[in-house]
Amino acid sequence: MTLAGGMLWGFSGTCGQFLMQTKGLLSDWLVPVRLLTAGGLLLAICWLKEKRRIFDIWKRDWLGILIFGVFGMSMCQYTYFTAISASNAGTATVLQYIGPVLILVYLSLRHKQLPQPTELLAIFLAVMGTFFLATHGNPGAMALSPKALFWGLLSAVALAVYTVQPGILLEEYGSSVVTAWGMLVGGVMLCVIFHPWEIPVQMDGQVLAGMAAVVILGTVVAFSCYMEGVRCVGPKKGSLYASVEPVSATVFSVIWMRAAFGGMDLAGFFCILSTIFLLAAGKEKKR
């Protein structure tokens, strides 16, 4: 279930790449529509399970869910899909996975503790992986466009905020309710900023199918599969299994969108993805 969730997230990113690079959709339209639609569907599912309790979060923690929706959910989704539009789903997803290393750096500074050796290695590999992706080993030339690098790294920062900020909310109200409200809040905020109803979109069967894949498969089904998998195997194994997402996004980008990756790209992918397992090993040793 956890692997299926991660693979569907990767597939969703490639669907977003198809919609933006082939069908001409903008992330300014795609992301707010996705957040509003998926958030509404998730909230309807939560209502069936919890009824009026889904509104408790607005009585006691309205500020927290507003901050999460605006600075966590919407920022995470918008930067990610904008990075995809400037590169491809595989590269954007791998760059976003620098987020756990940024969380490590933040926690080390906050607690005024030096990182452990494995954590230092993870930081080094994240930097080297970004260097390989951005320059292909040549500091004098950019292999990745500045726009793609900017939005990709910003998506990693957004992922760190998305992961750290709602900790108390998740413990109190559960991930489904917090995610659903976060999507709705983020979607409303992006609608206020970008006015998606004013952006022309040429609707056809492929666009509708792509949006259905992004919203239903890549959000509602993927999230449900992931949470059920975590319930069965625990958060540590679940998060490791879900790291199949960047691999899935890369494979779909190559097979479907004909994205081309060279040796230095793959070296960068390996460096960044290896940080996930190093950080997980470090947590295990601390226990």
Q: Residue 235: its pLDDT value, please?
A: 63
Rg (CA), the chain: 19
Average pLDDT of span 201-216: 94
| 235 residue type, one letter | P
Q: What is the distance between the alpha carbons of residues 61 and 206, in angstroms, rounded to a whole number?
A: 40
* Mean pLDDT score of the chain: 89
Q: What is the distance between the alpha carbons of residues 151 and 95, in angstroms, rounded to a whole number?
A: 9
Q: What is the pLDDT of residues 117-170, one digit of tens each?
A: 888 998 999 999 999 999 988 887 888 999 999 999 999 999 888 888 888 888
Q: Residue 19: its pLDDT value, please?
A: 96
User: How many folded domains does the chain comprise?
Assistant: 1
Tell me which of 287 and 27 has the higher pLDDT: 27
- Look up the pTM and report it: 0.90
Closest to 96 (Cα-Cα) out of 44, 157, 47, 141: 157
Number of H helices and E strands in the chain, helices first, is 16, 0
Q: What is the pLDDT of residues 50-77, one digit of tens each?
A: 898 999 999 989 999 999 999 889 999 9
Average pLDDT of span 201-212: 94
Q: What is the distance between the alpha carbons of residues 143 and 134, in angstroms, rounded to a whole number?
A: 5
Q: What is the pLDDT of residues 241-280, one digit of tens each?
A: 878 889 999 999 999 998 888 899 999 999 998 988 888 7
Per the structure, the complete domain to which residue 147 belongs is given by: 2-286
DSSP state of 51: G
In this structure, are residues 180 and 42 in contact, taking their beta carbons and an 8 Å threshold?
yes
Q: Residue 68: its pLDDT value, please?
A: 92
In this structure, are residues 73 and 185 in contact, taking their beta carbons and an 8 Å threshold?
yes
Q: Residue 278: its pLDDT value, please?
A: 85
In this structure, are residues 14 and 257 in contact, taking their beta carbons and an 8 Å threshold?
yes
Q: What angle do CA 100, 103, 106 make, to 5 degrees?
A: 155
In this structure, are residues 104 and 246 in contact, taking their beta carbons and an 8 Å threshold?
no
Residues 6+ apart with CB under 8 A from 186: 35, 39, 69, 70, 72, 73, 74, 75, 77
Residue 216 scores a pLDDT above 80: yes
State whether the Cα torsion 32-189-37-220 is positive or negative.
Answer: positive
Terminal alpha carbon distance of the chain: 26
